[in-house]
Structure 1
Amino acid sequence: MSRQLSFNPRKEYELIEYPGRVVHPDRMLGTLGGIVNVSKVLGDEVKRLELRFHPQNPYNKPAFGDCTDKTGVLLSVTVRRHKRDKLRPPQYFVHVLGHCSRSFSFESLCDFQYLPLWATPQSDNGLAATKLTYALEQTQPTDVTDLEFFKRGQSQLLCLPELFARVDLVHTGNYRIDGAEDGLQEVLGVLTKSTYDSYDVISFNMQDTFPTQADAQILKRLKVKYVSDEQFARVQKLFDECPIWTRIALLYESGVGTDKLKCIIPSLAFYFSNGPWRTLYVRYGYDPRKDFNSRHYQTFDFRLRFGTGVSEFVYSRKSAKLKMTSAAAAEEPKCDLVQNIDYPYFDEHKLPRSRQCMLRYCDVRIQKIQDMLEKIPTPLTGAICNERTGWLPPSFDAQVRQIVCATISDLLRSHYRKEHLMAEVEAVPQADEEDDGEDEETQEEDMELDDSQTMNSSENYVDKDIEQLFDNITS
């Protein structure tokens, strides 16, 4: 009995890549939950197709088929051979039955499959043997009304898990041995792709040599980014004058934009991720470990401890940027007490630009600190710097930090004293110009006396009131 095939290329089919050889289609549909369950899965874009190798056994985890977009064509190929003339070549007839736009494939991990088996000892020709019996009917009731199941006792205890593995997806992570180890220890780490180009990032140590020229990939990227010769020459001139720079100082001195500077700097200098010159860019070929003058360019990490009265001036760098770019802040008068957020130096008569400032010691423009740098004794010939403190004494950064904090405290103290004095002077009532019995000279003398007494009393009040205000800054 032949079956007629309908040739309709526009008819759409669903493709299920069954992981097995199908002999009986009905049994195959039974492992997939039946035609009803298959129809529910095909009608939903989120559900996964379940494949149970033992449909009647509840003690196994199904293998899940995931839906993927896949284009396919269903073909009907008919081959006709000549019965009498065997040497005549066969004829092929190809017809398109339809197409498919998605496929269900079982590529996930298959969990362990458990069977409720009971071991029964028996003797066979005098030899001890064990017989395994499929005891599904003894482990669960056949119906909700099967009360006899709860009356009879079980000869064996059967505890099988429903799930063995937590996940069924293949982990595609690559593992590597940690490069810091000598290879003798089996230490594994996940190999993740770096989110930035690390050609110019160098870890500071006392053994390795520092790079003397840029990587070829960096120079190639420099040409692609269309950096002008004038911009490159400006940054190169800065590195010729000084071998070590901060990023914010390069932006300020060169006037080159951030996007162009990201391409120029790696071709001229490398970046220290740790050590005495961390977060700084060092010119290729310059070794700060061998130059005693590089102490002026070591990193000074200053973090301002906040107290009452300080937070209204100094913000974090992110908040300061948002405040500067906001339209409402443009209308407000800018405080002259705080440095500009893009200013790379620390002046004696200004507050720092943000809560945390990464500076070089030469960027701290306080004469006392610069004199301390000059008075450091020159090391002996052949001496090398320290891996943690560089060319500076161990407690040098703490002394500099105390001096900077004291400078900020004096600056804030004088600012608040000035504000209090101005407020007190404005609050003093003026003498009545039409007061009888007093001439103008007597009124002026009385006003000068009242002003001097008010200023003296307000100075004493301010000194006692704000003395406690700045203790947390210098602590």
Structure 2
Amino acid sequence: MSRQLSFNTQKEYELIEYPGKVVNTDRMLATLGGILNVSKALGDEVKRMPLHFHPDNPYNKPIFGDSKENTGILLSITVRRHKKDKQRPPEYFVRVLGHCSRTFTFECLCDFQYLPLWSTPRSDNANAASELKYALDTLKPIDSVDLDFFKRKHPQVLSLPELFTHVDVVFSGTYRLDSVEDGQQDVLGVMSKSTYDNQDVVSFNMVDVFPTQPDAQSLKRLKIKYVSDEQFASIKKLFDDCPIWTRIALQYESGLTNDKLRCIIPLLAYYFSNGPWRSLYVRFGYDPRRDFHSRFYQTFDFRLRFSTGLSEFVYSKKFMRQRKAANATSTPSEDRVSDLVQDLDYPYFDEHKLPRSRQCMLRYIDVRMQKIQEMLEKIPTPLTGAVCNERTGWLPPGFDAQVRQIVCASISEILRNHYRKENVEAEVEAVPPAGDEEEDDEADDEETQEEDMEIDDSRTISQSENDIEQIIETITS
């Protein structure tokens, strides 16, 4: 047996997987719309290729072929056998005609196909069954000059919708009927995504009544997740002490995981999606619109204008959590930065540290700065019957801007002290050790050099301070 190979990989083909047995090539091309429509589909990267089972029938919906990236080669194999000597092994001639990089496949569903058939009674026998007649010529004019079409009498009317199915792609859906159960027969680890966070989400306004009790399904989820009585009591005590909390503060004060909180919180509080208490959890039955003391718990949305000079300290939350999950060993420089920046899980803002992330959702009571807390205390008590503002709550207009300026000034002072300390340490390390005094002339030269060095050092310090000020102004502007 012998084999001979020949290659021609320069020629590229397009593969169409036709869903049928091709006997007549012309009729096959007619179902695809002709060679012109096939060329249009091949010349476009996203165009689908239609296939009509009845090309001349306008009342059938085509199926569409989608293009997929595929790799293949077209082979031509010729087998030659010896006619006289049947025992001689055949010879194979293999030629590579070309390659293809794209394939059109028809894997979608086929819609309803209709033929314009009219039932007409037989004229020869009245008792015989009616006869089906192909009546396409009576439904549409033959051409544009067929004026007799409008003079004919149409015994029947054929009215079909444009399409019957809205999609032609196979979709495997799982449907479940909601039934009233006690939750004892539920299976753990369901495939559907939980909607715990969507429970009791309230839009703030001045008209509606806020929820006073939890949803009936919340207790069912609490049993499924096996939350202990001690864990539930710890969160309940926090809400009894303070009616409004952030999620990170509840997690920090209770020490529970986020999965446990997602089951416990819907039983004790509702969530504001907007308004002065946006992104906060409020205890059921507590209306912050009627309590002037709730001004301490309003939302303070603080965002850093991320720029040069701050990227080495404050990172994004996603990056910090990835580094914390990896438990990477920290270097001495990272330890110094961690002393300057608050921990990612710390829910409060201290006066002498940088914020934990670029954006912090805090309550005003979480900003532990004496000046800001005094400003909150000095806000005058409103008159009897007064209500809070729908946008600013119980705080006067522009109060958040004043607080933001105070926080930015504190951050600027922290950065200024940090850069000054680094410059001083770098200059101390750069001072060379003093040598022995040998001769008076050499000593005079050294004194002169030291005076020049002091002048240069003073210029360097003043220049570095100017650079620091420019960086800080850029960050806090």
Given that 1:110 and 1:168 are in contact with CA atoms closer than 8 Å, whether structure 2 keeps it comes out as: no
CA distance, structure 2, for counterparts of residue 271 and residue 169 of structure 1: 38
DSSP 3-state at the match of 1:309: coil
Given that 1:65 and 1:108 are in contact with CA atoms closer than 8 Å, whether structure 2 keeps it comes out as: no
Q: Does 1:369 align with 2:367?
A: no
Which residue does the alignment assign to 1:343?
Answer: 346
CA distance, structure 2, for counterparts of residue 348 and residue 420 of structure 1: 23
Q: Does 1:235 align with 2:235?
A: yes
Which residue does the alignment assign to 1:474?
Answer: 476
Q: Which amino acid letter does the alignment assign opposite residue 418 of structure 1?
A: K
Mapping of residues 325-474 of structure 1, within 5 Å: 325-330=325-330, 333-334=334-335, 335=337, 336-432=339-435, 434-436=436-438, 459-474=461-476
Which residue does the alignment assign to 1:274?
Answer: 274
1:308 Cα offset (Å)? 1.3
Q: What's the TM-score, normalizing by structure 2?
A: 0.61
Which residue does the alignment assign to 2:246?
Answer: 246
1:51 Cα offset (Å)? 6.7
Which residue does the alignment assign to 2:131?
Answer: none
Relative to 1, partners in 2 of residues 1:451 and 1:419: Cα closer, same or farther, differing over 3 Å? farther
Q: Does 1:120 align with 2:146?
A: yes
Relative to 1, partners in 2 of residues 1:312 and 1:210: Cα closer, same or farther, differing over 3 Å? same
1:461 Cα offset (Å)? 2.8
Mapping of residues 182-197 of structure 1, within 5 Å: 196-197=195-196
Q: What per-residue deviation string (whole Å, max 9, x for no partner) do you get for residues 31-56 of structure 1?
A: x977869xx9xxxxxxx99773xx36
Q: Which amino acid letter does the alignment assign opposite residue 232 of structure 1?
A: F
CA distance, structure 1, for counterparts of residue 257 and residue 449 of structure 2: 57
CA distance, structure 1, for counterparts of residue 456 and residue 244 of structure 2: 53
1:300 Cα offset (Å)? 0.3
Q: Which amino acid letter does the alignment assign opposite residue 241 of structure 1?
A: D
Mapping of residues 105-144 of structure 1, within 5 Å: 108=111, 117-118=142-143, 119-121=145-147, 129=151
Given that 1:121 and 1:131 are in contact with CA atoms closer than 8 Å, whether structure 2 keeps it comes out as: no
1:213 Cα offset (Å)? 1.3
Relative to 1, partners in 2 of residues 1:257 and 1:402: Cα closer, same or farther, differing over 3 Å? same
Relative to 1, partners in 2 of residues 1:339 and 1:450: Cα closer, same or farther, differing over 3 Å? farther
DSSP 3-state at the match of 1:117: coil
Given that 1:313 and 1:338 are in contact with CA atoms closer than 8 Å, whether structure 2 keeps it comes out as: yes
Given that 1:268 and 1:283 are in contact with CA atoms closer than 8 Å, whether structure 2 keeps it comes out as: yes
Q: Does 1:57 align with 2:56?
A: yes
1:322 Cα offset (Å)? 1.2
Given that 1:317 and 1:341 are in contact with CA atoms closer than 8 Å, whether structure 2 keeps it comes out as: yes
Which residue does the alignment assign to 2:293?
Answer: 293
Q: Which amino acid letter does the alignment assign opposite residue 117 of structure 1?
A: I
CA distance, structure 1, for counterparts of residue 114 and residue 410 of structure 2: 69
CA distance, structure 2, for counterparts of residue 401 and residue 418 of structure 1: 26
1:426 Cα offset (Å)? 1.0
DSSP 3-state at the match of 2:340: coil
Relative to 1, partners in 2 of residues 1:300 and 1:129: Cα closer, same or farther, differing over 3 Å? same
Which residue does the alignment assign to 1:211?
Answer: 211
Q: What's the TM-score, normalizing by structure 1?
A: 0.62
Given that 2:304 and 2:359 are in contact with CA atoms closer than 8 Å, whether structure 1 keeps it comes out as: yes
Relative to 1, partners in 2 of residues 1:361 and 1:168: Cα closer, same or farther, differing over 3 Å? closer
DSSP 3-state at the match of 1:358: strand
CA distance, structure 2, for counterparts of residue 219 and residue 467 of structure 1: 56
Q: Does 1:303 align with 2:303?
A: yes
Query: Aligned residues, how many?
Result: 336
Given that 1:51 and 1:64 are in contact with CA atoms closer than 8 Å, whether structure 2 keeps it comes out as: yes
Given that 1:323 and 1:329 are in contact with CA atoms closer than 8 Å, whether structure 2 keeps it comes out as: no
Relative to 1, partners in 2 of residues 1:167 and 1:419: Cα closer, same or farther, differing over 3 Å? farther
CA distance, structure 1, for counterparts of residue 368 and residue 448 of structure 2: 46
Q: Which amino acid letter does the alignment assign opposite residue 151 of structure 2?
A: A
CA distance, structure 2, for counterparts of residue 120 and residue 458 of structure 1: 97
Q: What per-residue deviation string (whole Å, max 9, x for no partner) do you get for residues 199-257 of structure 1?
A: 22111111111111111110121122111111111111111111100000011111011
The answer to which of 459-468 and 105-114 deviates more is 105-114
Relative to 1, partners in 2 of residues 1:56 and 1:243: Cα closer, same or farther, differing over 3 Å? closer
CA distance, structure 2, for counterparts of residue 473 and residue 351 of structure 1: 13
Q: What per-residue deviation string (whole Å, max 9, x for no partner) do you get for residues 439-463 of structure 1?
A: xxxxxx9999999878755542332
1:389 Cα offset (Å)? 0.5
Q: Which amino acid letter does the alignment assign opposite residue 354 of structure 1?
A: S
**Structure 1: unaligned runs, 5 residues or longer:** 1-31, 41-47, 67-103, 133-163, 173-192, 439-444
CA distance, structure 2, for counterparts of residue 410 and residue 277 of structure 1: 30
1:307 Cα offset (Å)? 2.0
Relative to 1, partners in 2 of residues 1:169 and 1:426: Cα closer, same or farther, differing over 3 Å? same
Q: What per-residue deviation string (whole Å, max 9, x for no partner) do you get for residues 403-434 of structure 1?
A: 111110111011001101110111111211x3
Q: Which amino acid letter does the alignment assign opposite residue 246 of structure 1?
A: T
1:108 Cα offset (Å)? 2.9
Q: Does 1:169 align with 2:167?
A: yes
Q: Which amino acid letter does the alignment assign opposite residue 142 of structure 2?
A: L
Q: Which amino acid letter does the alignment assign opposite residue 120 of structure 1?
A: D
Q: Which amino acid letter does the alignment assign opposite residue 315 of structure 1?
A: Y
Identity between Structure 1 and Structure 2 (%): 57
Given that 1:320 and 1:341 are in contact with CA atoms closer than 8 Å, whether structure 2 keeps it comes out as: yes
Given that 1:244 and 1:281 are in contact with CA atoms closer than 8 Å, whether structure 2 keeps it comes out as: yes
Q: What per-residue deviation string (whole Å, max 9, x for no partner) do you get for residues 53-103 of structure 1?
A: xx361756545499xxxxxxxxxxxxxxxxxxxxxxxxxxxxxxxxxxxxx
1:129 Cα offset (Å)? 2.8
Relative to 1, partners in 2 of residues 1:166 and 1:316: Cα closer, same or farther, differing over 3 Å? farther
Mapping of residues 258-273 of structure 1, within 5 Å: 258-273=258-273
CA distance, structure 2, for counterparts of residue 57 and residue 362 of structure 1: 77
Given that 1:59 and 1:116 are in contact with CA atoms closer than 8 Å, whether structure 2 keeps it comes out as: no
Q: Does 1:199 align with 2:208?
A: no
Relative to 1, partners in 2 of residues 1:105 and 1:430: Cα closer, same or farther, differing over 3 Å? closer
Relative to 1, partners in 2 of residues 1:452 and 1:364: Cα closer, same or farther, differing over 3 Å? farther
Which residue does the alignment assign to 2:324?
Answer: 324
